[in-house]
Amino acid sequence: MTPSRFIRSKHLVRGILVALVLLFGLRVGFPFLLQTDAVGKAIEETLEAWTGADVHIGAPPEFSFWPYPRVTLENVRITSPEVNGKSEALASIEAVSATFDLVGAVRGAPVFSDLELVRPTVLVGWSPAGVFNWKHSGWLTQAIDATASAPDGQAIPALPSERLGAITITDGILKVASAGEPKAYRISDINGTVTWPSLRQPMDLSLSGIVNGEMTHWTFGCDQPLALLAGRNANTRTSLSADPATVNFEGMANLSHNAFVAGTMQLSTPSLTQLLAWQGKEISAIGEVGQVNVEAKVTTAGYSAKLENVKLGLDNAEASGVLDINLPPDGVPQIGGTLAFDHIDLKALLTAFSPLPDSKETATPFDTAFLHQFGMDIRLSAKTADFAPFSLQGLAAGMRIENGRASFDVGDSTLLDGRMTGRIALNEQGLRGGAKLQMSLSNVDIGAIVSTLALPGPLPSGHGSADFELSTDQALWTTTVSDMSGQFRLRMGPGTLTHFNRQAFEEMAAKNAFFNFSEAADGSFDFVRADVEARLDRGIAELTKAEIEGNEKLLTLSGMIPYRSASLALAGTLADRPQADATVVNPAVSFFVGGSWPEPVISPVSILTGQQPRQ
pLDDT tens figures, 16-59: 665 555 455 445 444 544 556 666 777 788 888 888 888 888 88
Q: Please, which pLDDT band fits residue 356 given cuts at 50, 70 and 90?
A: low
125-142 confidence digits (pLDDT tens): 877 776 777 777 778 888
- Are 91 and 120 in contact by the 8 Å Cβ rule? The answer is yes
What pLDDT does 580 receive? Answer: 58
Query: Which one of 101-105, 255-259, 304-308 scores highest in mean pLDDT?
Result: 304-308
Q: Please state which of the ranges 70-84, 234-248, 519-533 shows the lowest mean pLDDT.
A: 70-84
Cα 151 from Cα 154, distance rounded (Å): 6
- Cα separations in angstroms, 425 against 20, 284, 288, 469, 487: 86, 18, 20, 12, 17
Q: Give the model's pLDDT for residue 217.
A: 96
For 35-53, b where at least 16 C-beta lie within 10 A, e where not — what string? eeeebbebbbebbbbbbbb
Range name among 288-292, 386-390, 446-450 with the lowest pLDDT average:
288-292
SS (H, E, C) 541-595: EEEEEEEEECCCEEEEEEEEECCCCCEEEEEEEEEECCCCCCCCCCCCEEEEEEE
> Residue 324: which pLDDT band, with cuts at 50, 70 and 90?
very high
Q: Which residue has the higher pLDDT, 570 or 580?
A: 570
Amino acid 22: pLDDT: 47
Residue 84 reports pLDDT greater than 60: yes
Beta bridge mates, 488: 468, 534
Of the two residues 459 and 249, the one the predictor is more confident about is: 249
Bigger pLDDT: 407 vs 194 = 194
Map residue 100 onto helix, strand or coil. Answer: strand
- The structure's pTM equals 0.74
pLDDT of residue 368: 60
Q: Does residue 487 carry a pLDDT above 70?
A: yes
Q: What percent of the chain has pLDDT over 70?
A: 79
List helix spans (H) across 246-289.
272-278
What is the chain's mean pLDDT, rounded?
80
CB 352 within 8 A of CB 346: no
Q: What is the C-alpha to C-alpha distance for residues 479 and 475, in angstroms, rounded to an integer? A: 6
What is the helix, strand, coil percentage profile of the chain, to 5? 20, 50, 30
SS3 155: coil
Contact 94, 74 (CB under 8 A): yes
pLDDT at 77: 92
Q: Tell how far CA 369 is from the center of its chain.
A: 16
Q: Residue 432: its pLDDT value, please? A: 47
What pLDDT does 610 receive? Answer: 53
Average pLDDT over residues 324-353: 83
- Dihedral sign for Cα 254, 259, 262, 265, please: positive
Which pLDDT score is estimated for 309?
94
Distance from C-alpha of 254 to C-alpha of 262, rounded to nearest angstrom: 9
> For 87-113, what is the mean pLDDT?
75
3-state secondary structure 334-378: EEEEEEEEEEEEHHHHHHHHCCCCECCCCCCCCCCCHHHHCEEEE
Per-residue pLDDT at 59: 83
Question: What φ, ψ does residue 93 adopt, rounded to 5°?
Answer: -130, 130
What count of Cα atoms within 13 Å lies in the side-chain half-sphere of residue 552? Answer: 7
Res. 190: pLDDT tops 90: yes
Q: What is the mean pLDDT of residues 257-286?
A: 80
Helix (H) or strand (E) holding 450: helix 446-453
The rounded distance, in Å, linking the Cα atoms of 434 and 478 is 11
**Could you give the CA distance from residue 169 to residue 334 in angstroms, rounded to a whole number?**
38
Q: Is 8 left (phi over 0), alpha (psi -120 to 50) or beta?
A: alpha
